[in-house]
Chains A and B, each alone.
Chain A
Amino acid sequence: MNRSIATSNRILRLALLSPAALVLTLTTLVPILYMVVSSLYRLDPVLFNRAWPFVGLGNYVDVLTKDPMFWSSMQKTVLFLLYTITPQIAVGMFLAVLLFREFKGKALVQTLMLFPILTTPVVISMIWKYFFDFDTGFLNVLLIKLGLPPQTWLSTKGFSFITGIPGIGPWLASTFSLNWAFASIVFVNFWQWAPFCFLVFYAGLTALPLEVFDACRVDGATRWQTFRFVTLPLLRPVVWIVVFLRIIDCLKVYAQIWVIFGNAEPTRIINVHLYTIGFTMSDYGRASALGVITLLFIALILVGNYLLGGKSHESSV
């Protein structure tokens, strides 16, 4: 490329990128900077409009050492991610492969599966709160009508088949959050997002070259072998993207849990905890510190995802 094109290229590419860059800087980097700065002071409504007392890393020390809820909410967050994302991916993949054929009403099915994604999360949690209600909820009323015992869907009692294990039962239930309440938030998140995984995987399947599958059929491979050795490896980049997106989203979950459980301890994952500190307890400084820590944590996941995803990830990022 000769000089003039190169220079005009540089000007052009900066010009093209500038609206986006401007918007992003102003609207995101500035608040993040503010968050980082405010995390170094002790801030609450009383101090806010006066001189801010500088505490350096004091807030961070507080969060990491003096706040027992911090570590338990981190633990719960990790468990939450594990419990809800795994079924979403598995079920999404299963449905995508299973429904990847012609059948009557296929378009209708795909449209109906969109609903959970399209509905406002707040309304979805209100629906499930209503369904899970012990006395007047839909599920228990139905169970009673069928002569079955109603379940305590929203209680914090551990699952009886776990707590019943002699010796380590209760320890297992509490360390791994094996109780009804936690299960219900895992479930609601699963219910809302498994269709998303299904649709994305389905789309991924449509983009796969047909010849490969024809070759498999000719070679006499079973459906399971085809899936395991051909489909799955080909879909690997898609799976990584979905896992990544779901992790990011689950870390931002707040309203869905708040509507049903408030900031009750058993279901307090990291964003709910942040909201509690920042707004229920009005401790702005500490909330900012927690926000920075969360951001670093997420950045770590980003990097980890890139490294694990390997080269196939680069082009899609």
Chain B
Amino acid sequence: MKAPYRIMKSALFYVFVFGVVLFWAFPIFWILISSFKPDNLIVSQDLHLIFGPTLANYRKIFTSHNFFHFLYNSAYVAVVTTLIVFLAGFTGAYSLSRFRTGGFLLVFLIMLTRVAPPAAILMPYFLIFRHLKLNNTLTALVIVNVAQNLSFMLLMLKSFIDEIPYSIEEAARIEGASWYQILSLLIFPLARSGILTTSIFTFIFTWNEYLFAMVLCSSNRVKTLPVAAGDFITAYAIEWGPVFSSGVVILLPIMLLAFFVQKYIVKGLTFGAVK
């Protein structure tokens, strides 16, 4: 009597899970499929589930548009940003955590920097970079992205470091360890999952950033991937095929990254929040 009931409950469960996954993964899946469709099959009154696949869209974005170069630009900005955010964030977070530097007010200010509406600070950024002769350079974009993500890193790492008992450090210091050794050999390994998680999110947000990249880096030499994808919204039409294939190209590296560090993302997301 119990067994069939349990089987049914279990089956229901799997059906539900399947439905959930379908709801969230299907549009992405559709992007993938559509990227292999010729243009006229995408915008039409039929679903075209069966069709002859073509690589035309990919060929287009890599040859007549400079997608390899844009990939490099995006990667450069994301990597450098993440590195700087990590270095400044790690040291800063340690100071915030161990010494309660600045107290709540400083933390509040840090949060404020994250929430400034982008549209309002776009013009100031543009002008400042123009004065520094940094317009249309990847450096400018790095600076902007560091600004956007540093607060996140500072606050996340602060809660991680808060978790690490001070007694361990004290013991090390008694044994004569220098501050540098404590930071790199003791704190860093213990906070590793938090660092990894926040760095990944920094990377992802920088990789997908659109507004600042569009205005600050508009020349082809320094264009990043999301802006390049937006190029296919031409003055008169949306070239859906290339839009989808560029969507896939933008997603692929992130997906690979996420796949490898997935358990850290899931684990580290609220490490500091749950006491």
Contacts and interface: CB of A to CB of B under 8 A. Distances in A.
A110 B17 CA distance: 11
B128 A30 contact: yes
B128 A31 contact: yes
Interface in B115-136: 115-125, 127-128
Given A19-B88, A123-B247, A317-B107, A115 B229 contact: no
Interface residues of B, number: 97
Contacts, number: 270
B144 interface: yes
A287 to B, nearest CB: 6
A234 B14 CA distance: 28
B91 A113 contact: no
A213 interface: no
A256 B245 CA distance: 19
Contact of B92 (A19, A136, A191, A299): A19
Interface string B227-260: 0011000000010100100110011001100110
A241 B270 contact: yes
B119 A271 contact: yes
Given A99-B17, A123-B243, A118 B255 contact: yes
Nearest to B43: A136
A295 B25 contact: no
A184 to B, nearest CB: 14
A316 B31 contact: no
A216 interface: no
Contacts of A80: none
B122 A278 contact: yes
A266 interface: no
A315 B159 contact: yes
Contacts of A82: none
Contacts of B225: 120
Interface majority SS (helix, strand, loop, mixed), chain B: helix
B101 to A, nearest CB: 5
B114 interface: yes
B120 A128 contact: no
Nearest to A235: B274
Contacts of A30: 124, 128
Interface string A162-176: 000000000000000
A16 B96 CA distance: 9
A15 B236 CA distance: 54
B119 A278 contact: yes
Given A16-B92, A17-B101, A291-B116, A118 B251 contact: yes
A204 B270 contact: yes
B120 A316 contact: no
Contact of A279 (B110, B119, B274): B119
A27 B120 contact: no
Interface string A118-149: 11111110111011000110100110010000
20 contacts: A13-B101, A14-B95, A20-B91, A20-B150, A23-B146, A24-B151, A27-B144, A35-B124, A113-B20, A120-B229, A123-B247, A127-B27, A206-B267, A241-B270, A241-B273, A248-B115, A251-B117, A255-B210, A270-B117, A295-B115
